[in-house]
Structure 1
Amino acid sequence: MLDACAELVDEVGYEGLTTTLLAERAGVAIGSVYQFFPDKRAIVQALTLRNLEAYLLRLSDRLTGGDLTDWWDGVDAGIDEYISMHREVPGFRTLHFGDIVDVHLLDEDRDNNGVIAEQLTQVLVDRFGIGDQVRLRFALEIAVEAADALIKMAFRRVPEGDERVLAEAKSLIREYLFAHVDADRPATAKVTQKAGKS
């Protein structure tokens, strides 16, 4: 049913999605839909949570791949996987992480991007040992909001994502995080930043 939901969201949008359409696409009785989900919001919430789990798994695979040398590589991987999911995962470019439905879809006490930033913070701390988690999490909340807006813009302009906009998004996030997480950044990243500016 979640696969059918993802396909329909891409075709008709969240507003056009109905439980009747979902049942027809999934090839099940409408009662079977209601057996698991009380309404379409609950279906989309389940799909969003599945997408979040898939995103974190993809990012974890990248971070344990051995080719990342500092925390910026982890952030870069996070942006790359977010872009890849827009291109590869049905329904993702429409729903993202549920903001089109409810900014508190993932957690009633925090907005969706705040949840993503917290997850990214934990991943980066575990992988790179960054010390100031509170500072990093706040900086990532800002970065996630900015990156999310620019990536959405890129996919509005070009179906596969405007590469110029995506490049600018990475550049903007890189400069912002370098400025705000400098104290926690290892020496290798500082050398990279200076080399990039020369």
Structure 2
Amino acid sequence: MIDEIGFERLTTAMVAERAGASIGTVYRYFPDRIAVVDALAIRCTQRLAARFVAALDASGAETWQQACDALIDETAELYRTEPGFRAIRFGDTADTGTGDAEDRMGALGTAVGQIMRDRFGLPDNERIARAWVVLAESGHAVLARAHRDREHPDTALIAEYRTMSRAHMESVVAAG
């Protein structure tokens, strides 16, 4: 619904109607529309992390560069196929009125960093941790724009993001 009408117009009554539930049932789990959006964002973050790990396992990625490509591919696929994922725009706190988007992006960056350390031996330092957050923030902005038309995503824009993210991470990793 957020994808269709935007956060500003979303009400808990609309959520209840779409879910086929009573308003009381919705309020039992979500005190307000912000809680609904937060729950959706958490679910989307978890789904992206799970898909990323599955893609790494399926592809047999041997380098962190291949892992970055897999992450971009999985994120782009979720933007293309899941309305809830497109609607959240993780780093855009103005959309929801909450301050939790920053925490979600930090958590996503931390999770990606941990996977890269565990699987590819990347170092654990503040600069690399910050780079993952920067790439997560910029990636969601670029991928949201690239998927404005979900039937015809701007693949050139996605390719440009892939090039930028790889170059940035290579420079950060090289600097140690």
Length-normalised TM-score, structure 2 = 0.88
Name which one, 1 or 2, has greater alpha-carbon Rg. 1
Partners of 2:91 and 2:140 within 8 A in 1: no
Greater relative contact order (CA < 8 Å, ≥ 6 in sequence):
2
Partners of 1:121 and 1:133 within 8 A in 2: no
Q: CA deviation at 1:134?
A: 2.7
Gaps in structure 2 of 5+ consecutive residues: none
Q: CA deviation at 1:98?
A: 6.2
Gaps in structure 1 of 5+ consecutive residues: 1-7, 185-198
Q: Which residue of 2 aligns with 1:176?
A: 168
Q: Which residue of 2 aligns with 1:189?
A: none
Q: Which residue of 2 aligns with 1:159?
A: 150
Note if 1:101 corresponds to 2:92: no
Q: CA deviation at 1:103?
A: 6.2
Distance 2:82 2:136 in 1: 19
Map residues 1-198 of structure 1 onto 2, 5 A cutoff: 8-97=1-90, 99=92, 100-102=95-97, 104-105=99-100, 110-156=102-148, 158-160=149-151, 161-182=153-174
Q: Specify the code of the residue in structure 2 equivalent to 1:105.
A: D
Distance 1:163 1:153 in 2: 11
Q: CA deviation at 1:82?
A: 0.8
Partners of 2:16 and 2:26 within 8 A in 1: yes
Q: CA deviation at 1:96?
A: 2.9
Q: Specify the code of the residue in structure 2 equivalent to 1:104.
A: G
Partners of 1:125 and 1:133 within 8 A in 2: no
Q: CA deviation at 1:153?
A: 2.2
Distance 1:82 1:60 in 2: 12
Distance 1:69 1:122 in 2: 16
Identical counterparts, % of pairs? 35
RMSD of aligned Cα (Å): 1.9
